[in-house]
Amino acid sequence: MASGVDALAEYGDAGTGVTRFTVEGGVIATDVLDEDELRLWVDGRDPRTGERRGRALESPDADLILDGTINAPKSYSIAVLINPDLAQEFEALQDRLRDRVIVLWQQELNARRGAGGRIREALQRVEVVELKHRRSRALDPHIHRHLWLNVKVLGEDGKWSNVDSRVAMKLHTVVNAEGELAARTDPEWIAALARNGYTLDQDGEIAELAAAVRPLSRRSNQIERNRAVLLARWRDEHPGQEPSADVVQQIDRRAWATGRPNKPGQVDEAAWEELIRDELMAVDSRIADLRGAVAPASVAMDDLDLELLAARAIVEADARSTPYGGRFSGLDIRAGAMRALAASGVAHQRTGLQATIDRVISLASLHVVDLLADEGERPDHIKGYMAEATAALKVELADRFDSLARAGARVDQERVSAIAAGTLADGIRLDDRQIAAAAAIAGSDRLVSITGPAGAGKTTMLRVANIALAHRGQRMLVVAPTKKAASVAGRELGTTASSVHALLADYGWRWSRDDAGAEQWAQLRPGGTDPATGIVYEGPRRFSITAGDRIVVDEAGMVDLHTANALASVAAQTGAGVAMVGDHLQAMPVGHSGAMACMARRSTAVIELTAVHRFRDPDYAELTLRMREPASKDAALAVAAELDARGQIHRVADQVQARDVMVESYFRWATGNRRVALVTSTNEEADAINEAIQQRRIDTGQLAQSRIAIGQSEQRILEGDIVQTRRNDRHADVENRAVWTIRRITADRVELASVGDSGDLRMVSHEYAAAHVHLAYASTVHGIQGETTDASVVGPGVDASGLYVGMTRGRSHNEAIALARTDGAAREAIADSMLRGIPEVSIDDSIRAARTELGRAARAPLADEAGTPAPWNDRSRRPYGADADLARTLGMARERERDARERWERASDWMHGAKRTLMDLDADACRRAANTHARTERAAEDSGDHEAATRLSNRYAARSADLLELEQEHLSLARVLDELESELAIRAALPADARRREERDRGASEAVRVPVPTTPERGISR
């Protein structure tokens, strides 16, 4: 709390007070809080009386405020700096946006009431304070505001409690869309820009100033590097301490001044604007020249193509849905509609835009599948919709795999073992699962799925399968989602390999985006004309596939639905079989995931590899199996505790310290030809770490600046830098995401050397480097998928696949960084990252996931559109309105819901435990097989373990349907309990005379006690 108030004091000038905005019934009132009152307010108390508002937040990790940021394109801040007359207009724009956002919070957020927080309580009052910033932390121009929403809110029932933070987080997409809409459509702001000769480009930046944004951003990155060095130095000099707000401010200013000629270590605040103007003049000497007024550009409302805007809204919502199996919410549709309208070129008062937004939402809703159509009312944040195109694609892909699924014969496993013995180097043996996988791939099943964790020896297995196929007179064609992964696989297997997209293109498939941005795939027939090039397609030339050949998709977990659908079509046309090899729990594709899992459900040969061969520490190899898919939150916490005990969790106080740790890790590990993977959650964080490492290498003399190339986003590229190429180039023979060392920079080209083979050289032009080469000391998970390094460090904020992939790259060392105040909170953060939802492969999976999400949400009591409760005898809207003994019925419902939930949880725990036991038995068997070098002799207990595993596996399969029934039973009873809680809330909210009238009418009728649905006792036997 103290740090938050200190921030307000520093940025909001708390010495003269901080403005508090109170919103009640859509009306905004303001007053001023002094520093003491502010501390009370942040602590959840009435700032005037000190009275506690609701229950105290005891946890040290509890949120006291929720932060919403009002941002604008950076060119707006530059315009205000060089055109002081725009400052007032920009402040007014931000004021209008602030007022809209805080009223939106009051009207659309909620608190929770009732048992388990199942009842949604609308808000009467919210309170917000505002922080105004003119500069970034790097002291460059960046005008923005922070709106701090107090988590203590007043419900319409007159009670203080905490805001529903889950809804607040999901509403943020609409808040951001409101900001974009204001910045690009506000007529007063557009007119002010036009008076100063400015227009907006298609990205929403001021067209005449956009060129100055990137140089300033690059300078900001340099300041961040300076700041990291100064903070690290301060912490070295003050061990065990954290810098105060004053010290941080001094460090910020010194970081800003470093490298600026003739600038003092302490920045004179009064001279800041003049210094920034000088730097802008160095970028463009005419940037501050007066410009003649221009006519404000605006598209007429009547000229808008609302159908196109609706299509764009769905495309955006669909793009945001990829982590959720293709599901999105009403909030996502609304945000998409607002962003589509913002980019349309219209300029209009916000109130006048609402009818158009509503119409676009209505049109967009015609192109979605409602996954909760039978559930009635649902909160707007529930992800219960799916784009029609995505739903159709899931169904089409399943149908294609169904039509391909044909059982065949597998190659004899003894024959495979003999091939392995004669092929693999001494000391390398296949375990039983690897042998089974190679036999299946070399056999004649049309669909084969091989899954397994990182380091399970999939590539070694494929080498043997390739030879076994050749013995049968068939060929293996290896493809991968990226050309880089295909090249690696091709070299290791000694077979033809390419990107899957190259194969599809050779067989006539073309992909593009329509005017709305939706992905379009179509297959040309021989003799057809390619619409993009005008060239007649004559059929496949590069790849000759015949019936019985095997298309092996390596890293198949990264294949998206569109690509898999086209691949299945090629397999059907050629008669080839398909084998998907990979791990659907590692990095996800850029598009919609689930292709590998979809095929696995239909494959006639499915083998899971469970033994891990990569790591030098066998205990850690076993731990990664449990990290990969923990059975529950407790299981994830147990894994996190073991990681912590092994020293593999590094707790830090903030993002800057996390960045420092990753930079230090690079210099600790990247010596003596060792490699380290630094995994970040965002590209922006990777860029910051990359440039910090580069600068330190310069400072220590490892890199020289005598020859410089320009990389992507104007990055500085030096000889000796580690870089990544980001586009396939056939002429230069470089691949997307391949990692290189800059060997030499000449006047006309850049020479690259592979990090894995210094003799493997490539040449690219400076034009290619500027567009497609960037620093690669650190990267997101997609940049290191498939890599094996000596060490790996995973930054904070990664998702489950990012954590798992990152923590399985290093042979010798793997470490995760957690932002947390305590060691326990750090373990909790790592455990949360491990948890995954049930894969949403089919539409039915998505419906179940949406229902589960709905079951956790608070829902409003049933009422009519005017807010008046439905009559007590309206069975459709008040199914328990006629219950004369509601308290008794509610008590029974709570007991039965609790009983059903406990039985479902026990059954679920048994299923998870059984699955873990089966995996442990498999892992033990594979470990013994590896230790005995795949000899046929086995100890007697191996046979016993096999029999036990078989019995347990059969019970597991038989109980799966029971678990689903128990889940449905619990959901049904939970919905009944929701309806009863809603009825109780309706009755409690009625005026006294209306409540008495209902009771009289109910008594005069044939009073009933509506029974709670009962279900037979079910469970899963031990």
Provide φ and ψ at 327, rounded to 5°: -85, 140
Asked whether residue 394 carries a pLDDT value surpassing 90, the answer given is yes
> Do the strands 27-33 and 749-754 form a parallel or antiparallel pair, or are they unpaired?
unpaired
Please give the structure tokens belonging to residue 468.
Answer: 């076994």
Instruction: Give yes or no: residues 876 and 789 share one domain.
Output: no
CA dihedral 615, 616, 618, 621 (to 10 degrees): -20
Q: Which segment of 99-103, 124-128, 332-336, 896-900 scores lowest on mean pLDDT?
A: 896-900
- Residue 762 has a CB neighbour count (10 Å cut-off) of 19
Q: CB burial class (10 A; 0-12, 13-18, 19+) of residue 160?
A: middle
State the Cα–Cα distance between residues 408 and 404, nearest whole angstrom: 12
CA dihedral 899, 901, 902, 906 (to 10 degrees): 140
Cα dist from 2 to 42, 59, 247, 657, 819, whole Å: 9, 15, 16, 20, 18
Q: Do 677 and 816 form a contact (C-beta atoms < 8 A)? A: no
Instruction: Give yes or no: residues 914 and 978 share one domain.
Output: yes
Helices (H), ranges, 424-557: 432-442, 458-471, 483-493, 500-506
Question: At which residue do the structure tokens 């939106």 appear?
Answer: 104
- Residue 1 has a CB neighbour count (10 Å cut-off) of 12
Would you state the pLDDT for residue 706?
86
Asked whether residue 934 carries a pLDDT value surpassing 50, the answer given is no
Q: Do 796 and 689 form a contact (C-beta atoms < 8 A)? A: no
Q: 761 or 885, which is more confident?
A: 761
Q: Determine the average pLDDT of the residues in 464-473.
A: 91
Residues ≥6 apart with Cβ < 8 Å to 667: 693, 696
Query: Sorting pLDDT into bands at 50, 70 and 90, what band is 1015?
Result: very low
Instruction: Give yes or no: residues 871 and 793 share one domain.
Output: no
Q: Do 848 and 838 form a contact (C-beta atoms < 8 A)? A: yes
Would you state the pLDDT for residue 930?
45
Query: Sorting pLDDT into bands at 50, 70 and 90, what band is 920?
Result: low
Q: Determine the average pLDDT of the residues in 739-751.
A: 93
Q: Which segment of 572-581, 667-676, 911-920 scores lowest on mean pLDDT?
A: 911-920
Which H or E run includes 134?
Answer: strand 119-135
Would you state the pLDDT for residue 224?
58
Asked whether residue 785 carries a pLDDT value surpassing 90, the answer given is no
Query: Sorting pLDDT into bands at 50, 70 and 90, what band is 151?
Result: very high
Q: Which segment of 89-98, 352-361, 688-697 scores lowest on mean pLDDT?
A: 688-697
Please give the structure tokens belonging to residue 323.
Answer: 């982590």
Instruction: Give yes or no: residues 824 and 698 share one domain.
Output: yes
Instruction: Give yes or no: residues 595 and 743 share one domain.
Output: no
Nearest to 661 by CA among 693, 687, 683: 693
Asked whether residue 942 carries a pLDDT value surpassing 60, the answer given is no
Instruction: For residue 47, tell me if it sits in a domain.
Output: yes
What is the CATH number for 488? Answer: 3.40.50.300
Q: 285 or 771, which is more confident?
A: 771
Q: Determine the average pLDDT of the residues in 850-872.
A: 70
Please give the structure tokens belonging to residue 922.
Answer: 């498999």
Would you state the pLDDT for residue 1018?
39
What is the CATH number for 135? Answer: 3.30.930
Instruction: Give yes or no: residues 602 and 639 share one domain.
Output: no
Instruction: Give yes or no: residues 646 and 602 share one domain.
Output: no
Q: CB burial class (10 A; 0-12, 13-18, 19+) of residue 68?
A: buried
Instruction: For residue 298, tell me if it sits in a domain.
Output: no
Question: At which residue do the structure tokens 């529903």 appear?
Answer: 164
Q: Which segment of 246-255, 442-451, 469-478, 707-716 scores lowest on mean pLDDT?
A: 246-255
State the Cα–Cα distance between residues 765 and 769, nearest whole angstrom: 6
- Residue 305 has a CB neighbour count (10 Å cut-off) of 12
Please give the structure tokens belonging to residue 572.
Answer: 């059907």
The residues that bridge with 198 in the sheet, in sequence order, are none
Q: Last residue of some domain: 183, 216, 249?
A: 216
Q: 43 or 263, which is more confident?
A: 43
Name the residue range of residue 970's domain.
Answer: 862-926+964-1021
Instruction: For residue 231, tell me if it sits in a domain.
Output: no
State the Cα–Cα distance between residues 467 and 445, nearest whole angstrom: 17
Q: What is the pLDDT of residues 11-63, one digit of tens each?
A: 444 457 889 999 999 999 999 999 899 999 999 999 999 999 988 876 655 67
- Residue 96 has a CB neighbour count (10 Å cut-off) of 16
Instruction: Give yes or no: residues 587 and 446 share one domain.
Output: yes
Q: What is the pLDDT of residues 214-232, one digit of tens each?
A: 666 655 555 655 666 677 6
Instruction: Give yes or no: residues 471 and 557 share one domain.
Output: yes
Instruction: Give yes or no: residues 570 and 664 share one domain.
Output: no
Instruction: For residue 347, tell me if it sits in a domain.
Output: no
Mean pLDDT over all residues of the chain?
A: 84
Q: Determine the average pLDDT of the residues in 440-464.
A: 86
Asked whether residue 929 carries a pLDDT value surpassing 70, the answer given is no
Long-range pairs of 767-770 with CB within 8 A, sequence gap ≥ 24:
768/727, 768/729, 768/732, 769/709, 769/710, 769/711, 769/717, 770/709, 770/710, 770/711, 770/712, 770/714
Asked whether residue 1008 carries a pLDDT value surpassing 70, the answer given is no
State the Cα–Cα distance between residues 146 and 133, nearest whole angstrom: 8
Nearest to 725 by CA among 755, 688, 681, 694: 755
Q: Do 466 and 494 form a contact (C-beta atoms < 8 A)? A: yes
Would you state the pLDDT for residue 452?
79
Q: What is the pLDDT of residues 167-214, one digit of tens each?
A: 999 999 999 999 999 999 999 999 999 999 999 998 899 888 887 776
Q: In 782-872, at which residue ranges do the beta strands (DSSP E only) sit?
A: 789-794, 810-819
- Residue 995 has a CB neighbour count (10 Å cut-off) of 14
Evaluate if pTM is beyond 0.95.
no
Helices (H), ranges, 842-885: 843-856
Instruction: Give yes or no: residues 670 and 754 share one domain.
Output: yes
Q: Which segment of 312-316, 902-906, 928-932 scores lowest on mean pLDDT?
A: 928-932
Q: CB burial class (10 A; 0-12, 13-18, 19+) of residue 286?
A: exposed
Query: Sorting pLDDT into bands at 50, 70 and 90, what band is 115?
Result: low
Q: 194 or 963, which is more confident?
A: 194
Would you state the pLDDT for residue 314?
98
Which H or E run includes 356?
Answer: helix 350-364
Q: Determine the average pLDDT of the residues in 775-789.
A: 84
Would you state the pLDDT for residue 1012?
52
Long-range pairs of 721-726 with CB within 8 A, sequence gap ≥ 24:
721/694, 721/775, 722/755, 722/775, 722/776, 722/777, 723/752, 723/773, 723/774, 723/775, 723/776, 724/773, 724/774, 724/775, 724/776, 724/779, 724/783, 725/752, 725/764, 725/772, 725/773, 726/772, 726/773, 726/774
Q: How many domains does the chain have?
A: 4
Q: Do 821 and 60 form a contact (C-beta atoms < 8 A)? A: yes
- Residue 949 Cα to chain centre, angstroms: 36
Q: What is the pLDDT of residues 821-843, one digit of tens each?
A: 888 889 999 998 887 655 788 89
What is the CATH number for 792? Answer: 3.40.50
Handedness of CA 283, 285, 290, 293 (dihedral sign): negative
Please provide the DSSP assignment of 614-653 as one string: S-S-HHHHHHHHHHHS-SSHHHHHHHHHHHHHTT-EEEES
Q: What is the pLDDT of residues 471-514, one digit of tens each?
A: 989 999 999 988 877 877 777 777 778 899 999 999 999 999 99
What's the per-residue H, E or C state across 567-581?
Answer: HHHHHHHHCCEEEEE
Instruction: For residue 811, tell me if it sits in a domain.
Output: yes
Would you state the pLDDT for residue 13?
47
Query: Sorting pLDDT into bands at 50, 70 and 90, what band is 935?
Result: very low
Q: Determine the average pLDDT of the residues in 557-583.
A: 94
Q: What is the DSSP letter of 935?
A: -
Query: Sorting pLDDT into bands at 50, 70 and 90, what band is 1016?
Result: very low
Instruction: For residue 385, tell me if it sits in a domain.
Output: no
Cα dist from 393 to 316, 516, 563, 699, whole Å: 17, 18, 11, 53
Q: Determine the average pLDDT of the residues in 606-630.
A: 78
Nearest to 6 by CA among 265, 244, 303, 304: 244
Q: What is the pLDDT of residues 572-613, one digit of tens each?
A: 999 999 999 988 767 677 789 889 989 999 999 998 887 666
Instruction: For residue 991, tell me if it sits in a domain.
Output: yes
Q: Which segment of 41-50, 72-81, 385-394, 931-940 scores lowest on mean pLDDT?
A: 931-940
State the Cα–Cα distance between residues 937 and 948, nearest whole angstrom: 19
Query: Sorting pLDDT into bands at 50, 70 and 90, what band is 139?
Result: low
Instruction: For residue 353, tell me if it sits in a domain.
Output: no
Query: Sorting pLDDT into bands at 50, 70 and 90, what band is 925?
Result: low
Would you state the pLDDT for residue 985?
78
Q: Last residue of some domain: 169, 193, 216?
A: 216
For the chain, counts of helices (H) and of strands (E): 32, 31
**Percent share of the chain, pLDDT over 70:** 84
Asked whether residue 865 carries a pLDDT value surpassing 50, the answer given is no
Query: 750 by DSSP, 3-state: which?
Result: strand
Q: Last residue of some domain: 573, 608, 643?
A: 608
Instruction: Give yes or no: residues 61 and 191 share one domain.
Output: yes
